Chain A
Amino acid sequence: MSNLFPLTMTDCVVRRQGKTVLGPVSLTVDQGGPTIIIGPNGSGKTTLLRVMHGIERLSAGAADWAQNDQGRQAYVFQSPIVLRRSVADNLRYPLQLIGVAKAEIEVAATAWLDRIGLSDIRNTRASRLSGGERQKLAIARALIRDPDVLFLDEPCANLDGHATREIEALLQETAAAGTRIIMSTHDMGQARRLAQDVIFMIAGKVHEKGAASDVLATPGTPELQAFLNGDIVT
């Protein structure tokens, strides 16, 4: 059990150029299975994830972890950022930053390359990878430090079915191994497949929150019902 949790968010507000893009949001995130953040485009899913991870400056409010150790968190961005290095060097990088011994780095990098199926192209520059391969590399790079919590911002956006299936399998293994997953998606099928808890957002605010089995089966608000029906919700 990680001692990072709970994360307590109190009246969190993010404003950009005078416009409120998030909040006020107050919620508590504790240990548990994958939490999936759903909502229409522009509803504040990404901003909420960034606030939780501490890479978004709050205009008001506070987001406090029980233990503030950002090194035990990892984040995967919607457009995977790959370093201008080889595939293997991308995996080595997070461990090099924290001074892990070279031999240990090689063992970990080789294990992850095998796990994500990129061993054969370990020396290829990462920018030459396909979208799915890049995303798998980004997730592996995030997981190589064995974080307690992994944030993912729509990791399967723009990926084909095969790549999506591979990434979902990787995330399920990761969750089963004890890493807390908090992820945004606009793919309701994916939310149903992965979520244990759901946070539904509209216009920068948390509209509904609860166990996935309850929230997705019996939506408590007409807005969520409309969203689940595929209607346009603003």
Chain B
Amino acid sequence: MIDIWEGLQAAFWLVVTFDAELWAISLRSLQVSLSAVVVASLIAIPFGTFLAVQRFRYRRLAISIMNALMGLPPVVVGLMLYILLSRSGPFGVLGLLFTPTAMIIAQVIIITPLIASIAHQAMRELWAEYHDLLISLHTTKWQRIRTLIWDGRRNLLTASLAGFGRAIGEVGAIMIVGGNIDNATRVLTTAIALETGKGDFALALGLGFVLIGLALAVNIAIHWLSRTEREGRW
């Protein structure tokens, strides 16, 4: 209980004193996670919608694989990516290991199946609602996908936010491919892991509270900006 209280105090002082390192780490966390969410959403939302409207031979298999990939262990993703990006790996020449880009790639791999799966579920329900109308209006496949994405944007936003929640709290993969390098790849989660390892529980807890506050703030801001649940609007 004392640790939690000290953690809250530490979080409070880190925020009110505009601790430079905290700001840098927090901004890096946001930059990495938001970049990953944008890239993953650009892949996952059209893919999930495509799976909802298109019938093809291996569709069920594709959906099963997509759902199964939601449970990808981040540490294993990090390890695989480490091997691929290391000097001796096939993509070593790109020099991406221990950079924020590698961390973004790792997070994209982890959250894309999650966003695609939630998007697919939402789009499947909307497609069932719209199916007859869109067929009757003689729409092309692309027009159907665009219509579903536009009209289902609130649900898709939720899918992306679920991805953001997973990304901002992820530690295993980004620790491996980012290396937790000070002033380079250290983010809130890896900093928490480091401080916990050093035994500085108050600071670790403080960073934890900042992380929670950041995640909540982003969610609230996005809901507010997109005017979700406002009267008279979709």
A: residues with CB less than 8 A from B are: 53, 55, 70-71, 74-75, 77, 81, 83-85, 93-94, 97, 123-125
Contact = CB atoms under 8 A, between A and B. Distances in A.
Contacts of A77: 132-133, 136
Contacts of A123: 232
Contacts of A94: 137
Contact of B151 (A71, A74, A83): A83
A141 to B, nearest CB: 9
A97 B137 contact: yes
Interface residues of B, number: 17
Nearest to A70: B138
Interface in B121-167: 126, 129-130, 132-133, 135-139, 143, 147, 151-152
What does DSSP make chain B's interface, helix, strand, loop or mixed?
Answer: helix
A123 B130 CA distance: 21
Interface in B55-78: none
A203 to B, nearest CB: 24
A83 B131 CA distance: 11
A48 to B, nearest CB: 15
A180 B87 CA distance: 72
The 9 A-B pairs of least Cβ separation, nearest first, read A81-B133, A75-B136, A84-B151, A70-B138, A84-B234, A55-B135, A71-B138, A55-B136, A94-B137
A97 B135 contact: no
B198 interface: no
A5 B176 CA distance: 69
Given A84-B151, A94-B137, A55 B132 contact: yes
Given A97-B143, A125-B232, A85 B133 contact: no
